[in-house]
Amino acid sequence: MRWGQVMMQRDGAGRAEDGAAVITVLLLLLALTAVSGTVAVVATNDFISAGRDRQAASALAVADAGVAQAVQFIRNNGVGRLTCLESQSDPPTGSCAASAVSTPWASPSAPQQVRTDGTAGACVTGQPCYRVWISAVTPYNPPATRTGVYRVHSTGFGGGAGAKAVLVDVSATPSKFPVGVFGEELSGNGGTSILQESLFTRACISPRYSGSGNGTRFTGIDSYWDMPASAHSTSFISTGNNCQADGYIHRTNVCATGSGNALIYDRDSQGGPVGPGSPCYRTHQRADGTWYPENDTTVFTAEDLARYGYRPGGLTDAQYADLKTRAQSIGAYNVPTGQLSAALTAAVNAGVSNPVVYYEDQDLSLRYSDIPATFGRTPESACTAPHSVTVVVRRGDLTYQGGNTQWRSLAMFVPEGNYRGDGGYNVLGTLFARSISLGGNETFQLDSCFTRNMPGPLLDLQVTGFREDDRSDVQ
C-alpha cells in the first residue's frame, strides 16, 4: 500500500509537470509566432521601402535624362523659342499659353514627352519616361541682356507609380569671340556693306568708305554691342587703297568726320581723347546708360579688342571639338558640297534648327545654293523659329559665293585660313577668320532676330542651380 501510494503521488506530480511543460511550449510557440510575424512585417515593409527607393532612384535618373535632353535642345536650337516666362508658368498664361509656344520644349501645359525605351508617343503608366519643358527666368535679349537664365522642369517616371521632379537653372551666353566681322588681316574690297554690326581687326582697314568713292561702309546700330556699326582696328584705318598713309583717318585729328560724318564712329590706334563740342564725343548712348565711344576716346587698343571678346583662334580647342562632334552627328563633317543640302535638310527634319558644318585640312568653296532656303530670310523679317548654319573650316580656306538678293543665315569660323567673298553675296550673321579678302558688292548684316537667336552651338551653357521639386512627386 505504501509503495502504491507513492507511485500514485508521483504519477499526479508528473502529470502536473507535463501540463506545465505543454503550457510553456505553447507560450514559446506563441512568442515565436509573434516574433516571426513581426519579422515578416518588417521584412515586407523593408521590401516595399526598397522597392519605392528603387522606383524613386529610377525616376530621378530619368528626370536627369530629361534635363540632359533639354540642354541638348538648347545646343541644337538656341533659346529664341523659349518664350514662356517663369512668372507666368503656373497657370499657363501669356507667352506660356499653348497657342503662344512654337515647341513643346517651352510648354508647361503640353510638355515634351520622351519614352526612354526609344518608342514614340506620350508617357504610359509603368514605362520609364520623362516630361520636360523650359521656362525663361531671365530671357536672353541682347544687347540689354547678354546672359539669359532658363529653368528646366523635368519629371521622370521610373517604371512604377512614383515620379521625381527636378528644377535645373541653366545660364546661356554666347561663347567668347568678337560678335560681328573679324579678321586678323584684311585685304582690299570694292563696295562691302556692313549693316547693324561692326568690323574688328588687328590689321589696317583699307579702303574705308568716307562718304564718297569705294570702300567698306557701315549703317545702323550694332544689334549685339549697342553702338553705331563702325570700324575698329588696333592698327590703322585708311580711306586709300593698300592702306595708304595719307588716307589714315586720324592722321591729323583724333576725330575723323568724312563726308556727312561717315567716319565719326571709327576707332583705331591713332585715335585719342574727345570732349564736348567734338562730333566724335558721346555719339550714342546705350540702353544701359553708358556712352559710345567708351571713355570718350577714339583710340582702340589690344585691351579694347579683348573686351569685345577677342582671343586667338576665336574659340577654344574644346569648343571646336564640340562643333566637330555635332557636324559628325548629322553627317556634315567633310561632306562633299553636293551632299551638303541634303544633310542640312535632314538635320532640320530631325529637330536641329542650328546645325554645324565642319571641314578640316581642306579648302571649301561654298555657294549660297549649297545651303537650303530654309536658312535664308530677309533681315528684320518675321522672327519665328529662325534657322542658321555654323560653318567651320580648320586649316583651310573658305570661299563663299552668293547672289545679289539671296540671304543665308551663317556663323562662319576660319581660324587658320583665308575667307574670300566673291560676287554680291548676302550674309546674315557673323564671321571670324585669320584673314579676310573681300570682293564685289557683298553685304554682312547682324539683325536683332539673329542676335536674339544666337546659334545654340555657339552658346556657353552653365548649370547654376539644381533642386528636387518635392511638391510634384507622385507616390
The pLDDT tens digits of the residues spanning 412-467 come to 999 999 999 887 889 999 999 999 987 778 899 999 999 999 999 999 999 998 88
pLDDT digits (tens, 9 = 90+) for 243-277: 999 999 999 999 999 999 999 999 999 999 999 99
Asked whether 76 and 105 are in contact (CB, 8 A), the reply is no
Q: Nearest to residue 209, comparing CAs of 181, 237, 176?
A: 237
Please name every residue paired with 102 in a beta bridge, in sequence order, or none if there are none: none
Angle in degrees, CA 432, 436, 442, rounded to 5: 95
Judge whether residue 377 has pLDDT over 60. Answer: yes
pLDDT of residue 465: 87
Q: Which of 14-28, 330-344, 413-427, 433-447 is least confident? A: 14-28
Distance CA 124, CA 429 (A): 43
Per-residue pLDDT at 35: 47
Q: Where are the domains of the chain?
A: 55-174, 181-458
Q: Which sign, positive or negative, has the C-alpha torsion 273, 259, 204, 315?
A: positive
Q: Which amino acid is at 371?
A: I
State yes or no: pLDDT of 27 exceeds 90: no
pLDDT digits (tens, 9 = 90+) for 174-197: 999 999 999 999 886 667 899 999
| Per-residue pLDDT at 133 exceeds 60 | yes
CA distance linking residue 456 with residue 463, whole number of Å: 16
Proportion of the chain above pLDDT 90, given as a percent: 65
Contact 72, 170 (CB under 8 A): no
What pLDDT score does 337 carry? 95
The pLDDT-based confidence of 29 (bands split at 50, 70, 90) is low
What is the per-residue pLDDT across 62-113, written as a single tens digit (0 to 9) for each? Answer: 889 999 999 999 999 999 999 899 987 777 777 787 777 778 899 998 899 9
> Per-residue confidence at 470, pLDDT binned at 50, 70, 90?
low
Q: Are 402 and 435 in contact (CB under 8 A)?
A: no
pLDDT digits over 205-216, tens only?
999 999 988 889
Q: How many whole angstroms separate alpha carbon 421 and alpha carbon 368?
A: 11
The model's confidence at residue 50, banded by pLDDT at 50, 70 and 90, is: very low
CA 467 to chain centre: 22
Taking the C-alpha atoms of residue 316 and residue 198, their distance in angstroms, rounded to an integer, is 22
- In this prediction, residues 396-420 reach a mean pLDDT of 92
- Binned at pLDDT 50, 70 and 90, residue 298 comes out as very high
Q: What's residue 55's pLDDT?
A: 52
CA 285 to chain centroid, in Å, comes to: 29
Query: What confidence score (pLDDT) does residue 161 get?
Result: 58
pLDDT at position 118, please?
A: 79
